[in-house]
Chain A
Amino acid sequence: MSWAFVLLLGATAYAFKAVGLIVIGGRSLPPTLERCLALIPAAMIGALVVTNTFGNGQHLQMDARAAGVAVAVVAAWRRAPLLVVILLGAAVTAAIRALT
């Protein structure tokens, strides 16, 4: 990995953040746009859950992660603290891998 690659990645990643925050500034947005933007976290976090649970590059697969995430869903539903949800998800996944 070259340093040019590392620095280019850092600069571009930062540019996305800064442009969004500073070009728009503290101005208020049209209500329709605001309603749509309010849904961004749900839409993208929903996608991040499934892609990190079932994704392996461009393939979908059902493995130990699915069981860990299923337990995490139950824990979140039972209002367990965040750290407990994460540790349960990891522990169940690790346990299934160890047993199979």
Chain B
Amino acid sequence: MRAVGVASATLGMAVGVFAVSFGVASVGAGASVAQTCVLSLLVFTGASQFSAVSVIGAGGSPAAAFGGAMLLAARNGVYAIALAPHLPGSLGRRLVTAQLVLDETAAMSLAQREPAQRRAAFWITGVTLFVCWNIGTLIGALAGSAIDPTTFGLDAAFPAAFVAMLWPLLRDPRSRAAAFLGAAVCLVLTPFVPVGIPILCAALAIFIGVPAPPPRQAEADR
């Protein structure tokens, strides 16, 4: 349990550091410091936030920016469905819980085997990430255009973080197949469809789970 806590808090802080580059990018795209901070507080989904400010910054329409960001946010709804059985509670509690549902909390939580560890991983990752993400955003927004995120390789910190999250999932053969299929679908579609849609289409790889596992595998799962 302690290892779960440390891993979750580390992830929250590490990805939170990335919020600094969101703050910089958002202000650079023409948002005020206050708008940038409210985006991180309310949207609280890194990929959606980056997508929205990058489209606006590149001169795209608010509708296009909204569409792309929402396609990226839609996967949180799917994460929420997957997480729901592990996060019971009153309606009020779940309304608060919902805001913490995103890539990192879903990945950390679903990677655990015990229900108590799943809940702990979700809450520790979620709260640490929320605090660090919003502090990071404020720092980045204030620093403004003084920092170029690419100079420090901060754009590569994002995929590197996803690699670290993906790694423990690859032990399971079906997850491994789903990861490679999802990545392949995303790569193939990228040149042909708007930004954000390839990631949604990658979710089709979950249909690998339709056939029942062979009996030996089913036993191992238990």
A26, B202: Cβ atoms under 8 Å? no
Task: Please list the residues of chain A having a beta carbon within 8 angstroms of any beta carbon in chain B.
Answer: 1-3, 5-14, 16-22, 24-29, 31-32, 35-55, 57-60, 64-65, 68-69, 72-73, 75-77, 81-83, 85-95, 97-98
B159, A21: Cβ atoms under 8 Å? no
A43, B156: Cβ atoms under 8 Å? no
Most chain B Cβ neighbours within 10 Å, of A48, A52, A77: A48
Contacts of A28 in B (CB 8 A): 85
**Of A2, A40, A72, which one neighbours B62 at CB under 8 angstroms?**
A2
B84, A24: Cβ atoms under 8 Å? yes
Task: Please list the residues of chain B having a beta carbon within 8 angstroms of any beta carbon in chain A.
Answer: 7, 10-11, 13-15, 29-32, 35, 38-39, 41-45, 47-48, 52-53, 56, 62, 65-66, 69-70, 73-85, 87-88, 91, 94-95, 97-99, 101-103, 106-107, 110-111, 150-167, 169-170, 172, 174-176, 178-183, 185-187, 190-195, 198-199, 202-210, 212-213
Q: Taking the nearest CB of chain B, how far is it from the CB of A48, in angstroms?
A: 5
A14, B190: Cβ atoms under 8 Å? no
Contacts of A5 in B (CB 8 A): 62, 65-66
B69, A9: Cβ atoms under 8 Å? yes
**Of B11, B155, B156, B169, which one neighbours A41 at CB under 8 angstroms?**
B169
On whether A47 and B185 interact (CB within 8 A), knowing A16-B77, A37-B206, the answer reads yes
On whether A50 and B169 interact (CB within 8 A), knowing A14-B42, A32-B209, A64-B153, the answer reads no
A58, B191: Cβ atoms under 8 Å? yes
Residue of A with least CB distance to B107: A41
Q: Taking the nearest CB of chain B, how far is it from the CB of A57, in angstroms?
A: 6
Contacts of B70 in A (CB 8 A): 9, 12-13, 16
Residue of A with least CB distance to B182: A43
Given contacts A1-B29, A46-B180, 15 further A-B contacts (CB under 8 A): A20-B84, A21-B80, A36-B209, A38-B110, A39-B178, A40-B206, A41-B103, A42-B179, A43-B204, A45-B162, A47-B183, A49-B166, A51-B186, A55-B195, A92-B156
Shortest Cβ-Cβ A-B pairs, 9 listed: A89-B160, A10-B42, A20-B80, A93-B153, A47-B202, A46-B179, A94-B153, A43-B182, A93-B156
> Once bound together, how far apart are the Cα atoms of A69 and B181, in whole Å?
19
A43, B205: Cβ atoms under 8 Å? yes
Q: Taking the nearest CB of chain A, how far is it from the CB of B15, in angstroms?
A: 8
> Once bound together, how far apart are the Cα atoms of A48 and B172, in whole Å?
19
21 contacts between A and B (CB under 8 A): A16-B70, A17-B76, A18-B98, A20-B76, A22-B91, A22-B94, A28-B85, A31-B212, A32-B212, A37-B206, A39-B209, A47-B186, A48-B47, A53-B159, A55-B190, A58-B193, A69-B160, A72-B160, A89-B160, A90-B156, A93-B156
